[in-house]
Structure 1
C-alpha cells in the first residue's frame, strides 16, 4: 500500500511518499472523504464554466440549471471511464474530468452567432480530432512545443478577461452594471480566494475559491442579489434527455471547436504525465492514448447530452501529488458522487442561482490562473530569444486584438469572421505558423531536445 522507496524521474528524486498507489483501494472510511476532497477541488470550475457560457449566450435560469445538471452528470461518467476504461476509452488512471475552460470563449462566440444547437453540433462533430491525436501523438507533437502551447494557454486566460469583468460588474446589460454592491461583492470573493490560497496551507488552500463563493452567496442575501426562486420549482430527480436543444452543423463553428480540441489534448497530455509522475514514472503509451481517446469520446457524449466538452482537471493532479493518494478507486468515487449530483436538479438550481458578481469574482481568479499557467509553460520550457519573443508578442497582440476590437473584421463574411475573430484561433494559428516558418537557432534546438513534456507513445520520453 505505502511506497517506502524514493521514486526517481530523470535526474531528480521524488521525495513524496505514495500513500496509495494507482491500483490500491483504501478502506471506505478513508476512500469516501478522499473522494469528497477531489470533488471539492474540482467542483467550482466544472460548475462555474457552464454558467458562464450559458449566461453569455443569453440562456434563462431553467436552461442554465439543466445544462449545469448535465455537466455534472457527464463529468462524473467521464471520470469513472478514465479510472475504469471501457475498451480503449480511458487511461486507467486517477484522472478527474470536468468542463474545459479551453472551450469557454470559442463556445460563447459560436453560441452568440449560431445558437445552442450549433454549439452541440460542433462539439460532437469535432470530438474525433482529439481521438486521432491520441493515436498519432508522436506525429503531431512537434507542432506544439512549449512555446506554442504556452501562448495558447495564455490566450485562453486573456480572452476571458472581459467575461470575468462583466460579471463582476453585475452581468452584461444589467441595469445595475458597475454599481458599488456588485463590484464590492466581486471584490470580497476575490479577496477571500486570494487570502486563503496565499496565507493558508492544506485543505483550505485547495478549496479557497469554493469557500470564497460560499461566503459570496451569504453576503449576497442582505444585498438582495441572491434569487433562489428557481430552486423551489426544480425537481429532486430527473432523467437526462439527449439532444434536448437539437443539433446544427455550421462549418466555421466546427473548425473553431476543432482547434480547441487540439489545445485541450495538449493539456491532457500534461495532466496524465503529472499524474504518473506522482508515483515516480512516465506515462505508458496506452495511458496517453486511452486518456486522449476518453477526452474526445466523452466530450462527444457531453454534446449529445446537452453539456460542454470535458477535459482532465489539473488541480486534481496537484491534489494527488500533495496527498500522496493516487488511487483510481478514490477518483472513481468522486465520479460517482458527480453522477448522483447530476440526477438532482435542485443541486444544479442552487449552483445556477450564483449571483453574477460572485461568479465574476471567482472567474477573475480562475481565468487569471489559466494565464499564469501559460506563463509557466513558456518560462520553464523556452529560451526567450529574439525569435521566440517575436512569436509571443505577435501572437498575443493579434489574439487579444481581435477579441477587444472585433469591429476590425466587420467587412468579412460571418463565417470567416467567427474564425478570424476568435482570439484563440487568431493567436494560436499565428504561433503555430511562425514557429514553423521562422528559422530556429541553437537555443531553440536545445529547448526541443530537453522538452520535459515531449512524451512518446511507447511510454518513455523523447
Structure 2
C-alpha cells in the first residue's frame, strides 16, 4: 500500500448521504441524465436497426430503456432489501452486450435476446451474493486497471461525438468547424466553470456547458426538432411484448458477458466511492452487483437490454464532487419521466452529437483519472504490480487498436476478446493470481483489496476471516 486509507483525499462537495436543496438537486440530477442519455438509448436504437424483427419499434424500445434505467438507478440509490448499493450509481443499457445480442437476434429472433438476458442474469446476482468468496481476486490494482480501460476506450466515442457524428469518420459533416466549435464551446464553458468558480456553478458545470451548447446550436439552426413534434405524450409499458425464447448457446454467451460487466460494476463502484476518500464496502459492492442482475431480469421482462452501472457518471461524480445518492435518485426519477413522456425525451434526443461530445470527453477522461487514483492511493507500484499494470493495459488497448489480430478466430471469440475491457480486465485478473507476491488469499492483506468492511460486519476494522 502506498499509504493508509486515512491519507486518501476526498474530492466531494456533497457526500453520499448529503441532500442538496431541491433547487440545486434537480439540475444536478438532470446533469446525470445528460451524461448518460445517448449512451443509454443508443443500444436499442442500433438493435432496432440491425434486427429485422423489431424494425419500426425504435421508439418503444428507447422508452423502455429509459424506464428500466430510471427504476434501476433509483434502486441503486435507495435499495430494496439486499438489492442496491446505496450509492449514486446511475444505471443504463450496457453496450457490452450489443454486438452479441444483435447476432443472437438475427440468428434466433428477438425473443431469444430477451430470453438469454433473463436466464443469464442470475450469474451477476450470484457474483454479488457470494462476493465474500471471490472479492480477494479484485484488489485495487485489478479494479483500477478496469476503470482506466473503461475511460480510455470511451475517449474515441467522445471524439466521434465531438466531431458531430457518433457513427464515425465516414459520416457526413464529421469534424466540421460547426461541430468542433460547438464541442469546444461546451468543453471550455464546462472546464472554466469547474476550475475558476466555486460553489454551485462549479458542481453544475457540465449541465451549464451542455445547455449553453444546445442554445447556440438552436441559434445556428443545426437542431432537428421534427422528432419532437412527431413524438407522443404517453408510453405504456408492455411486459414480454416480444416473448421469450431460450437458446443454450445464446445463454452461455450472455452469461459470460455478465461476468465482464460485473467486473465493470466493481470498478465503477470503487471509482465512485474513491471520490469520497475511502474504499467501497463489501455491502456496497454486493448490493450493486445484485442490483445489476435483478434489474437486468426486470429489463428483460420489460423489453430492455441488460442494464449496468454507467461509467460516465463515475466521471461526473469525480469531476463535480457531487456524490449524493439523493441527486442520483432524482436523476432516476427524471429518466422515468422521460420514459413515460416520449415528447420530453425527444427534446433531449434532438441534442446534436457535438454538444454532448464536448461534455463527454471531460467525463471519459475523469473515469481514467478515478482509476488511476484507485491505484496510486492503494497500490505500491513495485516490479510485480507495475508489470501487471503494463501488460494488462498493453493487451487491452492492443486489441482495441488492432482488432485484426483476432481475425483468424471464430466470430464469437473476436466479439468477446476484441473488447479492451474484456482482454485487459481478464489479463489483470489472471496475472494478479499467477504472479507471486500478491494479496490474493493472504490473510490481513486480502482485506485491503480496495474494500472496507460493511458497517454490519462483525468486528469492522479487523482483518477478515477466510471464507473458504
In 2, Cα distance between the equivalents of 1:208 and 1:229? 29
In 1, Cα distance between the equivalents of 2:330 and 2:158? 32
SS of the equivalent of 1:99 reads strand
Q: Please list the CA deviations of residues 4-40 of structure 1 after superposition, one character each: whole Å capped at 9, or x if unmatched.
A: xxxxx97679999999996x9x8xxx86436415513
In 2, Cα distance between the equivalents of 1:13 and 1:413? 45
- Counterpart of 1:402 in structure 2 is 399
TM normalised by structure 1 equals 0.79
Residues 272, 288 of structure 1: 8 Å contact kept: no
Residues 383, 447 of structure 1: 8 Å contact kept: no
Deviation at 1:400? Answer: 1.1
Residues 45, 61 of structure 2: 8 Å contact kept: no
Residues 67, 307 of structure 1: 8 Å contact kept: no
- Counterpart of 2:268 in structure 1 is 267
SS of the equivalent of 2:448 reads coil
In 2, Cα distance between the equivalents of 1:99 and 1:180? 32
Alignment partner for residue 45 of structure 1, among 12, 17, 35? 35
Residues 274, 370 of structure 2: 8 Å contact kept: no
Q: Note the 1:206-285 alignment, pairs <5 A.
A: 206-243=203-240, 250=250, 251-268=252-269, 271=272
- Counterpart of 1:5 in structure 2 is none
SS of the equivalent of 2:451 reads coil
Q: Note the 1:434-445 alignment, pairs <5 A.
A: 434-440=431-437
SS of the equivalent of 1:160 reads helix
Deviation at 1:345? Answer: 0.4
Residues 189, 358 of structure 1: 8 Å contact kept: yes
Is 2:295 aligned against 1:294? no
Residues 110, 418 of structure 1: 8 Å contact kept: yes
Q: 1:352 to 1:62 in 2, by over 3 A?
A: farther
Structure 2: gaps spanning 5 or more residues: 464-468
- Aligned residue pairs: how many? 437
Q: 1:243 to 1:350 in 2, by over 3 A?
A: farther
TM normalised by structure 2 equals 0.78
Q: Note the 1:57-456 alignment, pairs <5 A.
A: 59=49, 66-82=60-76, 85-90=79-84, 93=86, 95-99=88-92, 103-104=94-95, 106-110=96-100, 113-114=103-104, 117=110, 120=114, 123-171=117-165, 172=167, 173-243=170-240, 250=250, 251-268=252-269, 271=272, 289-305=286-302, 306-311=304-309, 314=314, 335-440=332-437, 448=445, 451=448, 453-456=450-453
Residues 40, 65 of structure 2: 8 Å contact kept: yes
Q: Please list the CA deviations of residues 132-156 of structure 1 after superposition, one character each: whole Å capped at 9, or x if unmatched.
A: 2222222111111111111111111
SS of the equivalent of 1:236 reads coil
Deviation at 1:418? Answer: 1.0
